[in-house]
Amino acid sequence: MITPADVLREAQALFGMDDGDEVRRRTAVSRAYYAAYHHARCAAEADGYREDGKASVHWQLQRHYSGKANPKQRRIAQFLRNLKGLRVRADYRLSEALSVSEAREALSLAAHIVTQIDRISQDKPA
């Protein structure tokens, strides 16, 4: 079984191999998003989150975090939205170039989301 951390490491490895190959760069952005998404979803499920089957699972997860009282959790929603925007560009807008700096931003956002969620989880009373 793989974990979100495994997916993020693969995204980082793909980005590290970037030799100007835009396909590899786009794949790294996509994997970075899904690593962050799955990490956020696992943490949300541990907190009682359940998908309702009526709307996009991506939107539902963002809504879950945006509805939290903790401002750090609400920021997770914004980070996920920003990262998803980069993932959509990488996966669907093939006629638009995806720069190295955009890919770097995606990997940075994904790592930041994971770190912030882990910190929030550590701050919760047992």
- Cβ proximity of 11 and 107 under 8 Å: yes
pLDDT at 2: 95
Instruction: Write the pLDDT tens digit of every residue in 3-38.
Output: 999 999 999 999 998 678 899 999 999 999 999 999
Instruction: Write the pLDDT tens digit of every residue in 74-117.
Output: 999 999 999 999 999 999 999 999 999 999 999 999 999 999 99
